[in-house]
Structure 1
Amino acid sequence: MYRKISQKLLAWKESPFRKPLLLQGARQVGKTFSVLEFGRNNYENVAYFNFETNTQLNATFEENIEPGYLLPILSHIAGTSIIKEKTLIIFDEVQL
């Protein structure tokens, strides 16, 4: 399914000044679907974390937020390797 956001996500990926991306919008409009599809089409791995369905994530981030500490734990939780520049990490329902 084509969505306008696909072009913007690709521009974000290709930007040399890329920073973490925050998507906000109304509920049930396809934000998660679009980002997951983008990840599958443009990255070797996608690590998806949903704070609503995985309560262990909150405790993980309360312990330590250093990437060196978090990445191995997140990799284990996601069941996939997290490799710099090759893995898209998606945090969903972070407000919870």
Structure 2
Amino acid sequence: MEGDKNPSDENYEFCKDSANYENRLKEFKTERYNDDIKTGSNDFLSDGIFTKIPYVQEICEQFKFLYNKLNVFDEESVTVNKFLGEKNCAFLNY
């Protein structure tokens, strides 16, 4: 029955596609990316809490890179608001 579905299962649906996300991160290492990804990430370097996090700039750059890669139009989507899709949003939030 539809009511028997555990909502938390949907939250981790992106795990089934983990190889895709791993491949996207490999692209980060080889692909030239937009300077605005690097520039925007520099802002975190001087923020108090972020100065204590190792590799904060690289994490920020990778996040922005993944966001841009995953933010493609889903032709099956009915609305424009679903560019990222629920699975990709769940991954980025994770």
TM-score by length of 1: 0.28
| Structure with the higher fraction of residues in strand conformation | 1
Larger Rg: 2
TM-score by length of 2: 0.28
| Structure with the higher fraction of residues in helix conformation | 2
